[in-house]
Structure 1
Amino acid sequence: MKKAMVIGASGGMGYALVMELVSRGVDVVAFARGIEKLKELFAGEEKVTLVAGDAGNKEELTLAVKGIDVIFHALNLPYDEWKEKLLPITQNIINAAEENGAKLAMVDNIYAYGKSGGNRLTENMEKNPHTKKGKLRKVMGEMIQKSSIPSLICHFPDFYGPNATNTYMHFTLGQLLKKRKGGFVGPSDIEREFIYTKDGAKVMVELALKDDAYGHSWNIPAVSTITGRDFEKLVKGHLGKDKQLYYITKPMFAMYALVAGKGMREAVEMQYINAEPTILSGEKLTKFLGKWNSTPYEKGIEETIGYMKKQT
């Protein structure tokens, strides 16, 4: 891979992918709608070319993909745009890859799996989504897999890390940096997974460099599970013992959503992930790549807080 393109480069995972690719000597086209945000993130990065464009515009996208070896699709649309835009944008990306002979590496979540039933989610499980968004993600994955392009799909749990602003952990840390109490979405005692974006990007790029990784879906789990209480202890260690969490259960979330606007209302149906253990199995990935180093939560949270402080 000599040249890659990251669609959604201004988002949390997109940013991590650009920086991981650059660290490996790959030339990168950073593609996103806002040029100012791209400049803010990648100013001074000689191997990064900034392209402001709309993935919903087939012509803009196809032009930007010229000369690209691998497209990394990390675009994160707001929930209220999924119904209208998710599948057309996916088709645009497939078409652009086909026309330019590029491979595709897709950043995906776990919504298409549906409820875990208390089991760790494996790649060979039948996907049985029960939510509108899960059904859309399932169709999206099928579109990619049925296309003629070499592709791989990476399923990730919730993200956290530098520039990962549209995440539950960022919401909590943002509150705690301003005041004594912060809201943690989910009960205090449920095992959860959060993957540090730098770790996720490293594994995904490693997969994209291997020809035999294409044609597969890959679960990329976090370093370990963590509860709200565990997270609270770590936060107290970094921000002070006076910091406290309050826990936002699904009924509370639904109540807030009534007055918080359409974006939050669209997130209500996804709260099953926070209300029961929904954990990825990494067995297939470990067999393929061997054991990989992951960032402990303590260090990842410390680095995330440091990044957030610099932005204020």
Structure 2
Amino acid sequence: MKKALVIGASGGMGYALVMELVSRGVDVVAFARGIEKLEELFSSEEKVTLVAGDAGIKEELNFAAKGVDVIFHALNLPYEQWKDKLLPITQNIIHAAEENGAKLAMVDNIYAYGKSGGNRLTENMEKKPHTKKGKLRKVMGETIQQSSIPSLICHFPDFYGPNATNTYMHFTLDQLLKKRKGGFVGPSDIEREFIFTKDGARVMVELALQDDAYGHCWNIPAVSTITGRDFEKMVKGQLGSDKQLYYITKPMFALYALVAGKGMREAVEMQYINTEPTILSGEKLEKFLGTMEWTPYETGIKETINYMNKKTEQLV
């Protein structure tokens, strides 16, 4: 891979992918809607070309994809735009890959799997989504797999890390950095997993470099599972023992969403992920790539907090 396009480069996972690719000597086209954000993130990176554009416009994607070997699809649309834009944008990305002879690596979540039934989610499980968004993600994945382009799909749990602002963990940490208490979405005692974006990007790029990885879905699990209480203990260790979490249950989330706007209301149906164990199996990945090194939560949270503090200082 000599040149790659990252769609959604200004988001949390997109940012991590760009930086991982650059660290491996790959030339990167960083594509997102806002040029200001792209400049803020990547203006000092010599191997990154900034292209502001709209993935909903086929011609703009085709322009950005000229001469690339792999397209990384890391675009994260707001929930309220999924119904109208998710599948048309998917078709535009497929077309851009076809037009330029590129492979496609897609960042996906776990919504298409549906409820776990108490089992770890494996790639060979039948996908039975029970939510509107899960059904859309299932169709999206099938559309990519049925296309003529070489593709791989990576299923990730919730993200956290530098620049990963649209995440549950960022919501919690942002509150704790500003005041004594922070809200944690979900019960205190349910096993959860959050993947550090740098780990996710490293594994995804490694897969994209392997010809045999294409034509497959891949589950990319976190280093381990944690509970809300585990997270609270880590936060106290880093921000001080006076910091506390309050736990936002599904009924509380639904009540808040009634007054918080359409974006929050759209998130209510996905709260099953936060209220029951929905954990990915990494067995297939480990068999293919071998044992991987994962960032401990304490280290990843510390780096995330440092990044958030630095951004706050720059705004002052």
**TM-score w.r.t. length of structure 2:** 0.99
Distance in 2 separating the partners of 1:136 and 1:43? 35
1:19-30 to 2 correspondence within 5 Å?
Answer: 19-30=19-30
Where does the alignment leave 5 or more consecutive residues of structure 1 unmatched? none
Aligned residue in 2 for 1:119 = 119
Distance in 2 separating the partners of 1:210 and 1:52? 29
1:93-108 to 2 correspondence within 5 Å?
Answer: 93-108=93-108
Q: Over residues 2-24 of structure 1, what are the superposed CA-to-partner deviations in whole Å (9 max), with x where a residue is unaligned? A: 00000000000000000000000
Deviation, structure 1 residue 196: 0.1
Deviation, structure 1 residue 287: 0.1
Where does the alignment leave 5 or more consecutive residues of structure 2 unmatched? none
Aligned residue in 2 for 1:143 = 143
Q: Over residues 131-161 of structure 1, what are the superposed CA-to-partner deviations in whole Å (9 max), with x where a residue is unaligned? A: 0000000000000000000000000000000
Distance in 2 separating the partners of 1:157 and 1:43? 30
Aligned residue for 1:49, secondary structure, equals: strand
The list of structure 1 runs, each at least 4 consecutive aligned residues, that deviate by more than 2 angstroms after superposition, is none
Indicate whether 1:210 and 2:183 are aligned: no
Q: Percent identity?
A: 88
The aligned amino acid for 2:151 is: S
Indicate whether 1:280 and 2:262 are aligned: no
Q: Over residues 27-61 of structure 1, what are the superposed CA-to-partner deviations in whole Å (9 max), with x where a residue is unaligned? A: 00000000000000001100000000000000111
Aligned residue in 2 for 1:311 = 311
Aligned residue in 2 for 1:164 = 164
Distance in 2 separating the partners of 1:79 and 1:124? 27
Q: Over residues 243-280 of structure 1, what are the superposed CA-to-partner deviations in whole Å (9 max), with x where a residue is unaligned? A: 00000010000000000000000000000000000000
Deviation, structure 1 residue 63: 1.2
Aligned residue for 2:40, secondary structure, equals: helix
Distance in 2 separating the partners of 1:150 and 1:249? 41
1:1-312 to 2 correspondence within 5 Å?
Answer: 1-312=1-312
Distance in 2 separating the partners of 1:14 and 1:242? 34
Aligned residue for 1:165, secondary structure, equals: coil
Distance in 2 separating the partners of 1:50 and 1:59? 16
Distance in 2 separating the partners of 1:116 and 1:55? 32
Distance in 1 separating the partners of 2:126 and 2:140? 15
Deviation, structure 1 residue 241: 0.3
Aligned residue for 1:273, secondary structure, equals: helix
Distance in 1 separating the partners of 2:179 and 2:275? 26
CA RMSD in angstroms, aligned pairs only: 0.3
Distance in 1 separating the partners of 2:6 and 2:256? 34
Aligned residue for 2:4, secondary structure, equals: strand
The aligned amino acid for 1:139 is: V
Distance in 2 separating the partners of 1:292 and 1:59? 39
The aligned amino acid for 1:93 is: I
Equivalences, count: 312
Aligned residue for 1:264, secondary structure, equals: helix
Deviation, structure 1 residue 183: 0.1
Aligned residue for 1:300, secondary structure, equals: helix
**TM-score w.r.t. length of structure 1:** 1.00
The aligned amino acid for 1:250 is: K
Aligned residue for 1:152, secondary structure, equals: strand
Q: Over residues 189-245 of structure 1, what are the superposed CA-to-partner deviations in whole Å (9 max), with x where a residue is unaligned? A: 000000000000000000000000000000000000000000000000110000000
Aligned residue for 1:217, secondary structure, equals: strand
Distance in 2 separating the partners of 1:132 and 1:51? 32
Distance in 2 separating the partners of 1:257 and 1:149? 40
Aligned residue for 2:143, secondary structure, equals: helix
Deviation, structure 1 residue 64: 1.0
Deviation, structure 1 residue 92: 0.2
Aligned residue for 1:172, secondary structure, equals: helix
